[in-house]
Structure 1
Amino acid sequence: MPTIPPERARLSENAPHQHRQAAESFGSDAERYDRARPRYPDAMVDRIVARSPGPDVLDVGCGTGIAARQFQAAGCKVLGVEPDARMADRARQLGVEADVATFEAWDPAGREFDAVIAGQAWHWVDPVAGAARAAQVLRPGGRLAAFWNVFELPPDVAEAFAAVYQRVMPDSPFNLQATTKQAMDGYQVLFSKAADGIREVGGFSDPEQWRFDWEWSYSRDAWLDQMPTHGALAQLSSDDLAEVLEGVGAAIDAMGGSFRMRYTTVVVAAARTGAA
């Protein structure tokens, strides 16, 4: 059974999984999170399902069950694991069974799965301990698939939003005027950590990256609805958040009230090898 290599068990202090308070802020408005956050391309769901040996799926960091419900619609039986009880409660209300725990501490109680997925969540998991736990619960040939949505604001939209952020949040770490390549380079750090964790643990095929490009149209109200679900904004004071939303709303109004967003969904995937 793959295990955590002791010499690699201690990870960087800057690793996102060591700052879970940001992830656990999302549950403060679980209904908004579920309503406003983008879904994932059907082609991605279909590929993961097709590459898995059966229909039993474990959704790590399932949140409100956004990805889980897409996999259910594709014919899968899904169990979620979610550290925030508020998010797990919302997932259950929407038809997804969910255990409340961090993935590293979760007790599988002998349960096995054909796929372990994580949508917009694997960076909150210790990449080595997480891969070891996934190997523990996956059947031979089962698929570990962690995926993220990377968005690209149109240049004129990015410029308008950046001006608002700079005024209200001058210390924000987000560069809204970054190019697609720069945005993808930033996410590539997450992809590499996920793949490295899988390789360290062993018991998997060499990780692959799959890419899916798609677009989505946002109205003014739809974009403002999802903004507070992002970590940096979720931790703003109510006054600062209101100022950001007012400024961004005015910018969208000036563009005609809507814009199209380009998304790239990237999957880091590997198959469980060897005996269970």
Structure 2
Amino acid sequence: MNRTSTHRRLLAAALCFTLPLGLIACGNDTPGEEALYVGEAAAFLASSEEGGDIGGDAVADADGTTLQSMATEEVDAITQEPTDTGGLCDFSARRQAVLAKYDDDGDGTLGNAELRELKADLGERREAIRPRLAQLGERARHWAFWRVRWAFDEDGSGTLSAEERTALVDAMEARCERLRSERLEKFDANDDGKLDETERQAAREAVRAKWRAKRQEVLATYDTNTNGVLDDGERVALRQARVAAAQERRETLMATYDTNSDGTLSTEEALPLRKEIQRRIIEGRDAEE
């Protein structure tokens, strides 16, 4: 049995005890439909709440309109103060938040109508996450999550199969655990395995300090009237620069993965890139603290 299968079996067993009855088909290692969609929604919250460039190399399959939208989201992240509270990544808490949001009758599980609403709110491929789900987080990074979902759509169908969705949820949960461990290593000064308020404040301030430094670099280049903020025209210039950078990144990726040089990635050509992005997600790469 390979390591991925082992991980999924252990994860499924744990979820049988930690999730409400009915969320998962216990007794085998395949999560039930409800557990998968609740997990996917939790993954959306996770990718929204962290900073950085999660799944960034998915720009290889992004068209011009998508690159513009991604750049707008990136500019917003640069100009808006981080929402990070300094706490530890908790994927289970995100699952519970999703369940509470959609469990309209309060019976602890999602009925058919409730599950249909969650599915619709998640959308697919380039569709935006709908407001009800987006409101669960402090902010909504639609295109960050699109990049994650693209990486796990291995057959390039534009939708995730149950197996692909399982892999996405497993990967984002593994990422959460890695980011949790990294934050504990940095800020758990008394080594008690959790963050007290002083340690949380230190983690929160570290995130904000890095954001302030990045914002200052941007202002130094794009705040042409030196008023300390980016006006509309300056934001346009920054967005255009981000689009140009993404286009350059895309060209570099295509040079590696577009083996027949036809200007597009076939399903076969895209698969190694998708696998590489998956690996980086699981390892907690491209997260900004």
Q: TM-score, normalised by structure 1?
A: 0.23
Greater strand share, 1 or 2? Answer: 1
Q: TM-score, normalised by structure 2?
A: 0.23
The answer to which structure, 1 or 2, has the higher relative contact order (CA under 8 A, 6+ apart) is: 2
Greater helix share, 1 or 2? Answer: 2
Greater gyration radius = 2
